[in-house]
Amino acid sequence: MVLSSLDRDELIRRVEQKLGGTTVRSDVVRDVVARTLGALPNAAPDAPSVLLTVIVTAASLPDLASRLRRAAEPQGIVIDGLCSATEGRHTVVTLRTGSVHLEALRRAVEGVGGRMVQRGGAV
């Protein structure tokens, strides 16, 4: 997965914040983030359009990722990687999909009670 240096630094900052006062060194966190992002695919093999990063948020929906997958499947939405995190009552799911799936994904997100932000690419 390719991220801008600002996005990568923000991800590292959030991981370090999540670890709190543990003894995990910053260089170890950076290495793990780099290896994890390197293991994610850069593009869906059958992506018919520009690949977008979509961020979905919802309050009090810890199963947001599984709800999105179930809502996306019947609409033919191709999801190229998905990550989920929960903090308190808020759940955030980040996924990648082709721009041709954007409107169908928007409907799926609204159907499960989430809000969506799109990053990257042009629609």
pLDDT digits (tens, 9 = 90+) for 56-108: 888 888 899 999 999 998 888 888 888 888 888 888 988 888 888 888 999 99
Residue 99 to residue 120: CA distance in whole angstroms: 10
Tell me what pLDDT residue 111 has. Answer: 92
* DSSP H helical ranges for the chain: 5-19, 26-39, 64-72, 102-112
Residue 100 to residue 106: CA distance in whole angstroms: 11
Please tell me which residue, 27 or 35, carries the higher pLDDT value: 27
pLDDT band at 123 (very low <50, low <70, confident <90, very high): very low
Is pLDDT above 80 for 50? no
> pTM of this prediction?
0.56
What number of other Cβ atoms are within 10 A of residue 99's Cβ?
A: 18
The residue count of the chain comes to 123
Residue 107 to residue 99: CA distance in whole angstroms: 14
